[in-house]
Structure 1
Amino acid sequence: MQIVSYRGPGMAGGVSPALTQMVAGDGSNHKWWHIEDNTIKYSNGIGQPNARHLLSESLIEGHYRYCNEFLWPIMHDMSEFATYRVEDRALYERFNRIFAREIVVENSRYTSSKLFVQDYQLALLPKELQRLDGPACGIFWHIPWPKSVPQSYLPAIVDLAKSLLSAEFIGFHTQEYCSNFFNFVAKNIPGTTVSMRNRTITRQSVAYVNPKAAPTMEDTWRIRLADKYTSQNRFTKVVAAPLGLDVDHWENISRVRSKLHLHPSLIHTDYVLSVDRADYTKGVAPRIEAIGHFFNDHPELIGKITFAQLCTRTRPGIEAFDNNWFNIQRLIQEVNSKYSTEDWQPVLNLKGPLKPAELSLLYANASMMLVNPVRDGLNLTAKEYIACQSNRPGVLGLSPHCGAFEELGPWAVEVNPFDPKEMSRSIFNALNLSDRDKLERMNGMRSRLNENTLTLWCEQFKGLLEPADDMETAAEAAL
């Protein structure tokens, strides 16, 4: 197996921990392609990573801007935050083209295995690998696929979708994202046949031209036959498979938490916990507004409950994220100034990063976990909270706009990130649920976690990536 991701083994955040388990036990029978120190590298679990290509600073920065200033807000249906630059798109394309070339050159030395490509940073890899007659691949899309795309941005997103259709399969976290993708392809990509019943998209044979050989349409008459390549009639399987949690891992961590100590400010009050980045998709600002409404409506709870946040700054230097960070700090200061007492403040900013055992302790003792994004691909923190709960559990407050809601929604307390006053009422109601109700809800969510573990998720995609003479038969059998 070969994994291709932006982050590599052992790197914090993203899907890296899940992929680490996926290749565990394979020894040297896998390769993990990734970016580290501005360099394309691959590792196989033995020795130091092998460096393949040093990327220029301008290429890295342009790719980063295109991913975070354009693709991120568009994919989260938040186009008001999007900034599109033609030059950044060109750098994003070049980044993917170079990455694909290095993979193909390395794989030409032996019989290659299929590639498991990860996420939006590498969305053009399937097309580029096909153009270079490289290894077959599947891709998992870890963020949402949008419900709609503004007309002015359609060409760029159509280009991404066409590339994804060069993969043997596309994985999404939820049925909704699959449906959004089906609808997008049916509406915007001619020559495709969408079958929601069979979960496939079939496309007709298309002749492509090497973009380096034909920079403009006027030059196409000069293209040599070798500069053209054809995509045969084929289908792409679209799979809804929410990333599972390594439940055993979190349960094992929880066994050592008795040696740790809670933050002093949390010992004397109940607390509501949130763990997220200061990303405008996470709904941190409306949450702070909801906390203000909470204490305004329930002054009797001042000094009796704390809202603890592990909220880390993200993507500094990008205006939309910086503005969101400063707005969050301003709102926290306003709420704390208004409702603090001599020995207590309503919003406690916890300093990170925390070790998993420390995080487990916070999860285990929280009266409530509040996860209220305005849009989120999945959100594993909600699942981690459930795995760390005791026999006297708290309650999960969850936004319906979070990917995890598709799995956990029946047992969570729904919170509305677009209405802070309504969110405040939901928090109050959740904290006042009976112990029996909390236990029933938590047991339901625990059962769901055990039905969809990280191991099962890994096995599903390992099955799809195994070599087969008949790809369609193999995919159907795996699913």
Structure 2
Amino acid sequence: MTETETPKRSRLIAISNRTAAGQESRAGGLAVALWDSLADTRGLWIGWSGRILDFPSNRARKSSEDGVEFALTDYSRDQFDGFYLGYSNSVLWPVMHNRIDLAVFDSSFFRYYVEINEKFSDIVRRQATEDDLIWVHDYHFLLLGGILREEGWTGRCGFFLHIPFPSPEVFRAIPEHRKLAKGLCAYDVVGLQCRKDLANLAQYLEEEFGAEEQPDGKFLVEGRIVHLLHCPIGIDSKSFAQTAQDEPATRAASRLSRFLGERDLVIGVDRMDYSKGLPQRFEGMADLFDRYPELHGKISFTQIAPPSRSVVEEYAQLREQLDALSGRINGDYGDLDWMPIRYLARGYDREEIAGLYRLATACLVTPLQDGMNLVAKEFVAAQDPEDPGVLILSQFAGAAEQMKEALIINPYDSSAIAEAVKQAIEMPREERRERWQKLYDNISEQDIGWWRSRFMTAFEQVPA
């Protein structure tokens, strides 16, 4: 290579269950995190097509959008039921969120989990060269790195876990926990959202495999070096702040303002999932109305909760519980001209949500367990700097590690939720501005670009 030549950048290959293929807007989520790196390296994104067939197929259809290639594969009905609804969302999701009581340990689920991980390994080996960087995302593919290594892959391979990693004793509740952990240790870099997750995984590896800690976050596990990286994901804060002021956002805020009148808006935006603490949040608002009758008619709590995985029994039960709770609370505390809770079990566009955030006096982000929770960061980004709202945040959200200027509460304590809402709506403007500025500075410094750069830097330091 001559002095004027620049080194060739390795192509990035991203792997996740869902991709950004065919999305009209790539303004949020994993798409923002990966798109620039994929486009810069003419990269490839491998994932599920969203289609369910009557028969299994290892075929991956290729396409290209704006300089990024896609390789999308279909699932059979049995694979979708066993891998996605079964092992991914009825075993891994509840256990990783400390809900062992909701886990369904069916041995057939793991067979399909292995089958899909092997399927993706086959697609990777047909598409990739050893010079490529393989970046795998989330709990659907804990085994993929190990399968690739067993089949001879010697290139660099990294993994990012978007959800929490539980304490060792909880993780051991999974019958196949050692197989999952061995697959995880086949990756060169494993990124985790917060320090607690990293500590949990490190403790598990030390206890179960005799892992030896090395300098700079690296661990020697059964002869391999794996780098455990604290790497909290962020958002594009400047872009979201602008979105909150654009026409779709202001139109949505105007629609809700007509209903609000002079009332303070308290908002919650979550997928309908048992990890989000929605029943406890509703009970907290009931506690507020019970303790402070002078606030009746002064506050409107709007909860947006689009259903997810509604075919899983626990999610259907949650929907029934929320329907009943909202009806009871409105019946107990409402009046002819006031509905205490507006509970909307449907989704809204990201632009509309941004406008509602900007309108809100307070935002309740109260999960019982969460890897990060980007709603907290989006709410902060959407605020008017001159008159910002207040973030009320669960101590069990990964975001609480970074966002200490929020009102941090225990989501299991209904009285704590009630008191935090009251404190938020009565907080002086100067205090709100001081808290908001520190929160905004943090999410702007450690934004989505910072997250991607932090992981890629660790990734690229792995010897080829």
After TM superposition, the score normalised by the length of structure 2 is 0.88
The match for 1:199 is 217
The match for 2:111 is 90
Seen in structure 2, the aligned counterparts of structure 1 residues 331 and 455 have a Cα distance that, compared at 3 Å, is same
1:261-300 equivalences under 5 Å are: 261-263=254-256, 264-300=258-294
The match for 1:21 is 35
Q: Which amino acid aligns with 2:32?
A: A
Seen in structure 2, the aligned counterparts of structure 1 residues 376 and 51 have a Cα distance that, compared at 3 Å, is closer
Seen in structure 2, the aligned counterparts of structure 1 residues 22 and 175 have a Cα distance that, compared at 3 Å, is farther
The match for 1:397 is 392
Percent identity (aligned): 26
SS of match in other structure, 2:136: strand
SS of match in other structure, 2:65: coil
Give the superposition deviation at 1:200: 1.4
SS of match in other structure, 2:40: coil
SS of match in other structure, 2:255: coil
Give the superposition deviation at 1:244: 1.3
> Structure 2: how far apart are the matches of 1:357 and 1:123?
33
1:423 and 2:436 matched: no
Alignment counterpart, residue 234 of structure 1, candidates 203, 224, 229? 224
Give the superposition deviation at 1:321: 1.6
1:43-122 equivalences under 5 Å are: 43-45=63-65, 53-64=73-84, 65-107=86-128, 110=129, 112-122=131-141
Question: How many residue pairs align between the two structures?
Answer: 436
Seen in structure 2, the aligned counterparts of structure 1 residues 50 and 452 have a Cα distance that, compared at 3 Å, is closer
CA deviation profile, 1:124-150 (whole Å, cap 9, x unmatched): 110011111224310000000001435
Q: Tell me, yes or no, if the aligned pair for 1:372 and 1:402 is still in contact at 8 Å.
A: yes
> Structure 2: how far apart are the matches of 1:129 and 1:357?
40
SS of match in other structure, 2:339: coil
The match for 1:222 is none
Instruction: Point out the more displaced range, 319-328 or 234-243.
Output: 319-328
CA deviation profile, 1:181-200 (whole Å, cap 9, x unmatched): 0011111224x3234x6311
SS of match in other structure, 2:453: helix
1:124 and 2:143 matched: yes
SS of match in other structure, 1:97: helix
1:297-312 equivalences under 5 Å are: 297-312=291-306
Q: Which amino acid aligns with 2:403?
A: L
Instruction: Point out the more displaced range, 16-25 or 345-354.
Output: 16-25
Q: Tell me, yes or no, if the aligned pair for 2:61 and 2:73 is still in contact at 8 Å.
A: yes
> Structure 2: how far apart are the matches of 1:13 and 1:124?
30
The match for 2:363 is 369
Q: Which amino acid aligns with 1:255?
A: Q
Seen in structure 2, the aligned counterparts of structure 1 residues 94 and 247 have a Cα distance that, compared at 3 Å, is same
Q: Which amino acid aligns with 1:419?
A: D
Detail structure 1 runs of 4+ shifted over 6 Å in the superposition: none
Give the superposition deviation at 1:259: 4.7
The match for 2:192 is 172
The match for 1:477 is none
The match for 2:457 is 463
Q: Tell me, yes or no, if the aligned pair for 1:273 and 1:366 is still in contact at 8 Å.
A: yes
1:161 and 2:181 matched: yes
CA deviation profile, 1:369-427 (whole Å, cap 9, x unmatched): 11011101100010001001111011110010000000002x01122211112221222
> Structure 2: how far apart are the matches of 1:151 and 1:349?
34
> Structure 2: how far apart are the matches of 1:21 and 1:47?
10
The match for 1:220 is none
Q: Which amino acid aligns with 1:198?
A: D
> Structure 2: how far apart are the matches of 1:141 and 1:159?
17
Seen in structure 2, the aligned counterparts of structure 1 residues 357 and 189 have a Cα distance that, compared at 3 Å, is same
> Structure 1: how far apart are the matches of 2:301 and 2:198?
35
Seen in structure 2, the aligned counterparts of structure 1 residues 130 and 431 have a Cα distance that, compared at 3 Å, is same
Q: Which amino acid aligns with 1:3?
A: A
Give the superposition deviation at 1:322: 1.5
Unmatched tracts of structure 2, length 5 or more: 1-11, 53-58
Seen in structure 2, the aligned counterparts of structure 1 residues 88 and 351 have a Cα distance that, compared at 3 Å, is closer
Q: Which amino acid aligns with 1:295?
A: F
Give the superposition deviation at 1:54: 4.0
Q: Which amino acid aligns with 2:88?
A: C
> Structure 2: how far apart are the matches of 1:151 and 1:181?
9
Give the superposition deviation at 1:234: 2.5
Q: Tell me, yes or no, if the aligned pair for 2:98 and 2:170 is still in contact at 8 Å.
A: no
CA deviation profile, 1:412-443 (whole Å, cap 9, x unmatched): 11222111122212221222221111111101
SS of match in other structure, 2:135: strand
> Structure 1: how far apart are the matches of 2:176 and 2:270?
29
Q: CA RMSD in A?
A: 2.3
The match for 1:143 is 163
> Structure 2: how far apart are the matches of 1:250 and 1:450?
11
The match for 1:249 is 239
Give the superposition deviation at 1:55: 3.3
> Structure 2: how far apart are the matches of 1:460 and 1:198?
14
CA deviation profile, 1:166-221 (whole Å, cap 9, x unmatched): 0000000101100000011111224x3234x63111123xxxxxxxxxxxxxxxxx
> Structure 2: how far apart are the matches of 1:201 and 1:166?
12
Seen in structure 2, the aligned counterparts of structure 1 residues 237 and 150 have a Cα distance that, compared at 3 Å, is closer
Give the superposition deviation at 1:61: 1.4
> Structure 1: how far apart are the matches of 2:441 and 2:29?
23
> Structure 1: how far apart are the matches of 2:67 and 2:463?
36
SS of match in other structure, 2:165: coil
1:4 and 2:15 matched: yes
1:302-341 equivalences under 5 Å are: 302-341=296-335
SS of match in other structure, 2:182: helix
> Structure 2: how far apart are the matches of 1:154 and 1:408?
32
1:184-195 equivalences under 5 Å are: 184-190=204-210, 192-195=211-214
> Structure 2: how far apart are the matches of 1:363 and 1:160?
39
SS of match in other structure, 2:301: strand
> Structure 2: how far apart are the matches of 1:339 and 1:277?
26
Q: Which amino acid aligns with 1:121?
A: H
SS of match in other structure, 1:238: strand
After TM superposition, the score normalised by the length of structure 1 is 0.86
> Structure 2: how far apart are the matches of 1:20 and 1:200?
24
Q: Which amino acid aligns with 1:67?
A: S
Q: Which amino acid aligns with 1:119?
A: D
Q: Tell me, yes or no, if the aligned pair for 2:283 and 2:414 is still in contact at 8 Å.
A: yes
Give the superposition deviation at 1:47: 8.4
> Structure 2: how far apart are the matches of 1:182 and 1:47?
38
